[in-house]
Amino acid sequence: MTDSWTLTGDDGELLLHTGTAGRAARTGHKLTIEMKGWTAQVTVDDGHPVAVTLTVDVDSLTVLKGEGGIAPWTGAEPGIARSNALKSLEVKKYPTITYASTGVVRDGDVYSVDGELTLHGVTRPHPVTVRRDGTGFSCETTITQTDYKIKQFSLLMGTVKVADDVRLTISATAPAP
C-alpha cells in the first residue's frame, strides 16, 4: 500500500556541524547550526520509504552554539555567525536547498538513498545512508562546500576559516500509521 508522509522541522532536526581550518584554526569556533525551516515529502510503500524530496529554507539558519576557540563564545556571536553564514550561502540569490532521491534500496532498517543535492545553485549526486529505529529515521553525511562553489567564511586573511567539509545530521520521527 502506497502512502505519503510530510515531515517538517517540528518532526525532527536538521543540524550542520562546522569545523575550522587555516594556520590559526584552533582560534576559531566550531559551530552547531540548526536549519529550522524544512519540509520532506516521503513516498512510502508498505510502511517503508521509497522516495523522498527535501526542501530547506536557508534563511531559517540558526546558530545554536560555538565551541572551542581562543576567545569565549559571547551573546553577540550567534548573530554574527548567522550573518556570515548567510552571506557565504548567498541566501538572497539561493534561498532554498533541495534534495531529491533518485533511488532507494532497503536492507533491513538501513536505506541506501541515491539522490541529487542542489545547494548554492549547483546540483550534484549525493548518496546518503538512512537508518531506521522504530518510527525514527536518522542520517549523517558530509557536504564539501567548494563542491557547491561556496566560498568558506574566513578571517585574518584566511588564517582562520570554516573547514571545507561540513557534517550534516538529520533525525525525524515518522507519523503514526
Residue 162 Ramachandran class (φ > 0 left, ψ -120 to 50 alpha, else beta): beta
How large is the average pLDDT for residues 37-53? Answer: 94
Contact 33, 62 (CB under 8 A): yes
Fold of 2-173: Lipocalin (2.40.128)
How large is the average pLDDT for residues 83-98? Answer: 96
Does the predicted model carry a pTM greater than 0.85?
yes
How large is the average pLDDT for residues 135-146? Answer: 95
* Calpha distance 129→169 (Å, rounded): 11
pLDDT in tens, 100-134: 999 999 999 999 999 999 999 999 999 999 999 98
Where are the chain's structural domains? 2-173
How large is the average pLDDT for residues 76-98? Answer: 94
